[in-house]
Chains A and B, each alone.
Chain A
């Protein structure tokens, strides 16, 4: 039995999680160039389910996502305080090793960014970095992951050609497969379908729903219908603060907070 330590309002007390969550966020504050972007975030993200972060643009949802695998480190003038625990390990601890942390999380960005190499090498890139040299093993990983995202039949005859030759929907699936190849535990998606056509979007959404069996998935999205289609939990962020967190239908159909109501009904966006 696990309750949410951070959100102890009446509304959310009844949420119960199956096991200790992969990701626990405690007293997280992020300042970028002196601006307070994320304010006192306390949150446990449920395992093996899809959690969507929604909120108006500029509310800090992408920052929150990037804080989870320390991609904010690379930007200048960023100050992070508080802690993010992944499997109980604080990724912001002084001795935390950042490549190890990032390996645990696959990132699917807004637009697909295939690496400047062949389709095969795109998938093999991660495993190679982490020391896999055996060609047979690499070929197996590539095949498995491409099959995982339903791309194998489309590309198996041109694994050696450049990944930029694929359609944008195929590229995004390739990027997902590339992330899965390093065997992460968590998948982070940053508006991952915003550049895709409806059919590719559907493919990606179905993949994510299927993948939640094995992974914990956190998505940032600004499309409420998408959040409703794919997510089990919804986190509504406004002005850098968590306003509401709960099961998808609870937040979307019976929002308790007034701002959430306004957002869900489309009065603010």
Chain B
């Protein structure tokens, strides 16, 4: 056979094999985490683990509720801050800003996205925590340290700005100029056009950007860990300390061997995080499909 054709078929097979390898890593992770968490799951019912809020490994209490709620609080706060800001910022960049400004800001966003999370953490400890503790909380008559889910949410929001803005800008740039003209030529103002036509048309893309950002927010560890306080309690207000799941794993990984079931509990935490992110992506994919059909 011709050597060129042999090469061709080899490349095809090798690349298929590599793809299989990459996919099997995902399965191996699930399998590994699952088998390691089995001891905990055999010891206690999964419902107890997820709904109990007492975490004291020494006594054998492994309630995951504080960590789940910590993750949910921090993620939600960051989204509440980031989503409106990013939508408006990207609308400004695409619809109002000059080409010069846009060409200056977009590369800057990529630089921001590349900054290591630990730097955001340091910035959070040096600036966000003191401001939240010294200025914001006192406004509500509270006296706290500032290490709280609110600080975590702010730091996380700032971290997901770049990815959200750059995806949203790309989405908005795909909206055809003529669609805008169609609305403008009916006598709509620019803001009416943005609100009622552009954002509506861009909705699936904007949701996709938010989903990507949330996936990142769920898993973000180090920066959040540095400003959240890390107390295993269910946060009751913005200014309470929280303890997100990734922080739990990162903080305790070294000592886990000494206590029975602790090791298994941390593996379960990892599995939980995996399942949450996986499920979240699946659901949002479904929502997106339905939205795209509608528009």
Q: Which A residues form the contact surface with B (CB < 8 A)?
A: 69, 71, 74, 76, 99-100, 102-103, 105-107, 109-111, 113, 115-117, 125-126, 129-130, 162, 164, 175, 178-179, 182, 188
Among the 9-residue stretches B60-68, B115-123, B185-193, the one with 4 or more Cβ atoms under 8 Å from chain A is: B185-193
Q: Is residue B249 within 8 Å, beta carbon to beta carbon, of the partner chain?
A: no
> What is the chain A residue whose CB lies nearest that of B192?
A129
* B264-295 interface bits toward A, Cβ cutoff 8 Å, 1 = contact, 0 = none: 00000000000000000000000000000011
- Give Cα distance in the complex from A125 to B197, angstroms: 10
Q: Which residues does chain B contribute within 8 Å of A117, judged by CB atoms? A: 200
> What is the chain A residue whose CB lies nearest that of B187?
A103
Contact A106 B185 (CB under 8 A): yes
> What is the chain A residue whose CB lies nearest that of B294?
A162
Contact A76 B182 (CB under 8 A): no
Q: Is residue B252 within 8 Å, beta carbon to beta carbon, of the partner chain?
A: no
Contact A113 B295 (CB under 8 A): no
From known contacts A76-B98, A116-B197, infer whether A109 and B186 are also in contact, taking CB-CB under 8 Å: no
- Give Cα distance in the complex from A126 to B185, angstroms: 9
> What is the chain B residue whose CB lies nearest that of A69?
B185
Q: Which residues does chain A contribute within 8 Å of B294, judged by CB atoms? A: 162
Q: Which residues does chain A contribute within 8 Å of B178, judged by CB atoms? A: 109-111, 113
Contact B189 A99 (CB under 8 A): yes
Q: Which residues does chain B contribute within 8 Å of A130, judged by CB atoms? A: 187
* B172-214 interface bits toward A, Cβ cutoff 8 Å, 1 = contact, 0 = none: 0000101111111111110010001100110000000000000
- Give Cα distance in the complex from A106 to B197, angstroms: 17
Q: Which residues does chain B contribute within 8 Å of A100, judged by CB atoms? A: 187
Q: Which residues does chain B contribute within 8 Å of A116, judged by CB atoms? A: 197, 200-201, 295
From known contacts A102-B184, A162-B294, infer whether A115 and B179 are also in contact, taking CB-CB under 8 Å: yes
Other 15 A-B pairs with CB < 8 A, given A74-B180, A107-B181, A130-B187? A69-B185, A71-B184, A71-B185, A102-B187, A103-B186, A106-B185, A106-B186, A107-B182, A109-B178, A113-B181, A116-B197, A129-B186, A129-B192, A182-B186, A182-B187
Given A113, A125, A129, A188, which contacts B179 in the complex, CB threshold below 8 Å?
A113
Q: Which residues does chain B contribute within 8 Å of A188, judged by CB atoms? A: 185
From known contacts A116-B197, A117-B200, infer whether A162 and B186 are also in contact, taking CB-CB under 8 Å: no
Q: Which residues does chain B contribute within 8 Å of A182, judged by CB atoms? A: 186-187
Contact A115 B185 (CB under 8 A): no
Contact B187 A115 (CB under 8 A): no
Given A76, A105, A111, which contacts B185 in the complex, CB threshold below 8 Å?
A105
Closest-CB distance, A220 to chain B (whole angstroms): 14
Q: Which residues does chain A contribute within 8 Å of B182, judged by CB atoms? A: 107, 109, 113, 115, 175, 178
Contact B183 A125 (CB under 8 A): yes
Q: Which B residues form the contact surface with A (CB < 8 A)?
A: 98-99, 176, 178-189, 192, 196-197, 200-201, 294-295
Q: Which residues does chain A contribute within 8 Å of B181, judged by CB atoms? A: 71, 74, 107, 109, 113
> What is the chain A residue whose CB lies nearest that of B186?
A126
Q: Which residues does chain A contribute within 8 Å of B180, judged by CB atoms? A: 74
Q: What are 14 inter-chain pairs, A to B, with CB distance below 8 A?
A: A69-B185, A99-B188, A99-B189, A102-B184, A102-B187, A106-B185, A109-B181, A111-B178, A115-B197, A116-B200, A129-B192, A130-B187, A179-B185, A179-B186
- Give Cα distance in the complex from A74 to B183, angstroms: 13
Contact B186 A125 (CB under 8 A): yes
Contact A74 B184 (CB under 8 A): yes
Contact B200 A178 (CB under 8 A): no
- Give Cα distance in the complex from A106 to B201, angstroms: 22
Q: Which residues does chain A contribute within 8 Å of B183, judged by CB atoms? A: 115, 125
Q: Which residues does chain B contribute within 8 Å of A164, judged by CB atoms? A: 295
Interface centre among B185, B187, B200, B294 (most CB of A within 10 A): B185
Given A74, A102, A110, A111, which contacts B186 in the complex, CB threshold below 8 Å?
A102
> What is the chain B residue whose CB lies nearest that of A76?
B99
Q: Which residues does chain A contribute within 8 Å of B179, judged by CB atoms? A: 113, 115
> What is the chain A residue whose CB lies nearest that of B185?
A107
Contact A99 B187 (CB under 8 A): yes
Q: Which residues does chain A contribute within 8 Å of B185, judged by CB atoms? A: 69, 71, 102, 105-107, 179, 188
- Give Cα distance in the complex from A100 to B98, angstroms: 25
Closest-CB distance, A208 to chain B (whole angstroms): 17
- Give Cα distance in the complex from A182 to B77, angstroms: 43
> What is the chain B residue whose CB lies nearest that of A125?
B186
Interface centre among A76, A105, A109 (most CB of B within 10 A): A109
Q: Which residues does chain B contribute within 8 Å of A125, judged by CB atoms? A: 183, 186, 188, 196
- Give Cα distance in the complex from A138 to B189, angstroms: 20
From known contacts A76-B98, A162-B295, A164-B295, infer whether A113 and B187 are also in contact, taking CB-CB under 8 Å: no
